[in-house]
Chain A
Amino acid sequence: EAGVAQSPRYKIIEKRQSVAFWCNPISGHATLYWYQQILGQGPKLLIQFQNNGVVDDSQLPKDRFSAERLKGVDSTLKIQPAKLEDSAVYLCASSVETGTTNEQFFGPGTRLTVL
């Protein structure tokens, strides 16, 4: 089966600019996650979707970050405006459904550098 797809793989922007990331989960996976992974740290959950609804976004900095999954399939994560501390790898993952303990499958990530 095809894995989780993400684009772009790399992005370099200046602070205060905007950026958007795209994720296409594994077909049939109802749950989609966006993680932020700063170098040398573990993944930090930003937002979790079940189909097109938000399950948890408590750690999403909502003044600058937004995410949507309008049709319950692919998703976009946006940062506007970006700050230096947003430099990180943004990982998208999917699993069969929330409320179970199924494996999360990760995409290759988008490495964001904010100058």
Chain B
Amino acid sequence: GENVEQHPSTLSVQEGDSAVIKCTYSDSASNYFPWYKQELGKRPQLIIDIRSNVGEKKDQRIAVTLNKTAKHFSLHITETQPEDSAVYFCAAFSYSNYQLIWGAGTKLIIKP
């Protein structure tokens, strides 16, 4: 089955700098990769997603890149702001069991 690994587990960046979170997946049949943001005590919310027919997708300050050959995808946040502080989860949709397989999460800390 699918396995998703996410790094780093904690990332601390200066406000205004960029942050990059990386994930790898194992199932080459996976073709949908969402990123969820979970603020402390709140529910996960989708912030961006990418499908396997696209290599990059951007939405204002966030972007996601996908390398199907290497089976990894990354979240990029530019010009980080205090409200970006949260736990970010990557996930991969597995057609073997129609499940969304989640990474372990990255705690992003934005230092003022």
Contact = CB atoms under 8 A, between A and B. Distances in A.
Interface of A: 40-45, 48, 55-56, 58, 91, 98-99, 101, 103-104, 106-109
Contacts, number: 43
Interface of B: 31-32, 34, 42-46, 49, 51, 89, 93, 97-100, 102-105
Given A91-B44, A101-B34, A106-B44, 13 more contacts: A42-B104, A45-B99, A56-B97, A58-B97, A91-B43, A101-B32, A101-B49, A101-B51, A101-B93, A103-B46, A107-B43, A108-B42, A109-B43
A104 B31 CA distance: 16
Given A101-B32, A109-B43, A45 B49 contact: no
A58 B97 CA distance: 10
Nearest to B107: A40
Q: Which of B42, B43, B44 has the most CB of A within 10 A?
A: B43
A108 B100 contact: no
B100 A45 contact: yes
A103 B49 contact: yes
Contacts of B32: 101
Contacts of A103: 34, 46, 49
12 contacts: A40-B105, A41-B104, A43-B44, A43-B102, A48-B99, A56-B98, A101-B49, A103-B49, A106-B43, A106-B45, A108-B42, A109-B43
Contacts of B46: 103-104
A97 B3 CA distance: 23
Contacts of B42: 108
A104 B101 CA distance: 12
A41 B105 contact: yes
A103 B51 CA distance: 12
Contacts of B49: 101, 103
Given A43-B44, A91-B44, A104 B105 contact: no
